[in-house]
Structure 1
C-alpha cells in the first residue's frame, strides 16, 4: 500500500509523508529531525553543520519531554541514552535557550548513530527506502556536515509547507499519546474518538485532545481536498472537515449501525467545495479518494490504524486486507440507494 500511496502522487512530498506518517515508531526522534530539517531547508540552505542541526533537534525533544514520554514503554533507556541525558539537562538547556554542551554532544551522537540512518527507511526496516532522499552526512567525525538535497528544499519551500509542518506535529502528538497510554492497552483496544464541536481527535480513556482532525489525516490524502482533489493550502484556503457521507443520512443507516461521525468518514476539504456539496451524496471520485486515504492511514502505526480496523471489523471485514475500504464504502453507498 505504501507503493500505491506514492504512485498516486510520485513527488518528493509523498516521499516525505511516507517517512513521517507511515514509519514505525519506538521513539520520536524522527519527528524532531524532520522539524529541524524543514527549518534549515526553508532558509534555502544547501548544507548545515551537524552541530547546528542538532540544536533545534535537541531543544524540540526537551520541550516535548516536558509534556509526554518520547519513547515506547518497551524501550529500556540506559544512563547514557539521549532521552536520559535530555531529562537531566532539560532545566539548564531551557534556561540557556540552547542545549548544554553535554546534551548537544549526545544529540549529535544519537542523530548519526540512529535516527539519520533510519529516517529514509520504510516501515519494517530492511533495505526498502522512500524514493527520494532528503540529506546526506559528509565530513569527518570531528566536523560532520549535513548536505540538504534539492528534494528537501522542494518540500520545505513548497506551498504545502505549513500543512507538512502541521502533519508532522499531529503525528508526533499521536505517537506521544500512544506511548503515554501504553501501546497494547486502551488506544489499541478502543482506538480514538472525535470531538465534533472542536474537530479534535481525542483519547477516549483520558478524554484529552490528541490532534486536530485536519492535521492528523490531511497528509494521507496528499494535502488535497477530498471533494475537488486540488491542493489545500491552510494559510490561504478556508478548510472544512467534510462528512463524506453527509450526517443527514445517519438516520437511514441506523439499522446498519454505521457511524458517520467517525474518522473513516471525515476528510479535509475546501470550505467552498464543502458548502456547495451540502447534503448531497459523494460522487464516485470522492469515494475512491476516501478509500485510498483510509487505506493509507491503515499503513500508519496505532492508534489511527486501530480506529479504522475497529470500524471494518464491526462490519464483518478482517481489518487487514487491502481493498476492504473500497468494499465497505461502496456497501455504504449501496445501502443509501
Structure 2
C-alpha cells in the first residue's frame, strides 16, 4: 500500500485495482471501461444496461487475443465460452444476443463485480469503493459512488482510460505468450523508434510506453512532479539516465551486464517542456527517488512488466524480489556516471 500512501486518493485506489490486482481473466478491464462511461452522467444504472457495454467490450477483444489465462479452466457454460459462441452475431447486431446478455447478467454479480475491489489477496480491498449492487435478483441496480463519479470527471479521466486500455493489452499479451514460458524468461522490450512496448517472442507491438507506465507514476511528470493531462499537455518519454551516458557505463568486458538505458526501467513520461529543459543532464535526487518508487510500484503488478524489471535487477546482481533494490540499483548507476 506504499503506492496509495504517496497519494491517498480515489484515483490511486482505482489504479491499485486496474494496475496491481490479479489477472486470470480480463473481466475487470471491460467492467472498468463500462463504469467510467456510466459515471460520467449518472449516479446509478440498471445492471442490464451496464451489462451491454461490458459484454460488447469483451466480445470485441475476444477477436484480438485471449481473455483468459491458459491456467484457467473453461467449460461450455463458462461466460467466455458463451461470449465466443455469440461474438459474431453480437458484433453483427451491435449489441449482445439474448443468450450472451443472459449469461452476462448471471456472471457479472457473482464474479467480476464481487471481485473488482479486491487486490491479490481475498478479503484485501482497495481503500475506496466505486459501486454497490442493490435491488432484487430480478432487477439489480448498480449505485455508482461519488468516488467513481469524481475520477470519471477528473482532469486525469483520459489518462485513466489510456492506462486501462494499455493494461488490458499487456495482460492479453501475457495470456497469448503463456505466463511461465517465454514471457517469464524474456519479459518485454521497447521499440525506441516508435516508443512502443513489444512482445519479444511474437515481435508484436503491445502498447505505448507512456500509457503502460504513467499510472504507476500517479499520472505525474517524473521531472516536475505535476500532473500530466493527455490532450492538453505535450508529453515526452524521458531517458531518466540519458542514453548518451551509456559510453560512461561501459567498461572492459561490461557490454553484457551494463544496465540498458533504453529499457522500461529508465523510461518515464514527462511534460515535453520539462524534458527539453532537462536535456542530457543526470537525474536529480528527487527524480531518482520518483523513478525508484515508480519501478517499485510496477514490481507490485502482475506479469509482464513486473518480470521485465525483475530481469533488469537480476542481470545486474540483485535478487529482483527484495523491497528497496530499485533505490540501491539507481544510486549505483548514478555513482558510475
TM-score when scaled to structure 1? Answer: 0.98
Deviation at 1:138, TM superposition (A): 0.2
The question of 1:138 aligning with 2:129 is answered: no
Q: Per-residue CA shift, 1:60-106, capped at 9, x if unaligned?
A: 00000000010001111111111110111111111110001110111
Counterpart of 2:27 (choices 24, 29, 37) is 29
How big is the shift at 1:316? 1.1
Give the equivalent residue in structure 2 for 1:303.
304
TM-score in terms of structure 2 length: 0.98
Q: 2:230 aligned with 1:229, yes or no? A: no
Gaps of 5+ in 2: none
Q: What CA deviation, in whole Å up to 9, does each residue of 1:92-140 have, x standing for no partner?
A: 111110001110111111110101111001112x221100000000000
Matches of 2:120 and 2:32 in 1, distance apart? 16
| Alignment match, 1:51 | 48
C-alpha distance after superposition, 1:161-217 (max 9, x if no partner): 111000000000000001000111111110000000100000011001011000000
- Tell me how far apart the structure 1 counterparts of residues 135 and 38 of structure 2 sit (CA, whole Å): 18
Alignment-derived partner of residue 88 in structure 1: 85
Structure 2 distance, partners of 1:128, 1:181, is 29
Deviation at 1:227, TM superposition (A): 0.2
Residue 15 of structure 1: which of 13, 16, 25 is its match? Answer: 13
Q: How many residues align?
A: 332
Superposition RMSD in Å: 0.6
Shift of the alpha carbon at 1:274? 0.1
Listed one character per residue, the Cα deviations across residues 130-153 of structure 1 (whole Å, up to 9, x for unaligned) are 000000000000000000000000
Specify the SS of the correspondent of 1:142: coil
User: Which residue pairs with 1:321 in the alignment?
Assistant: 322
Runs of 4 or more, structure 1, over 4 Å off, are none
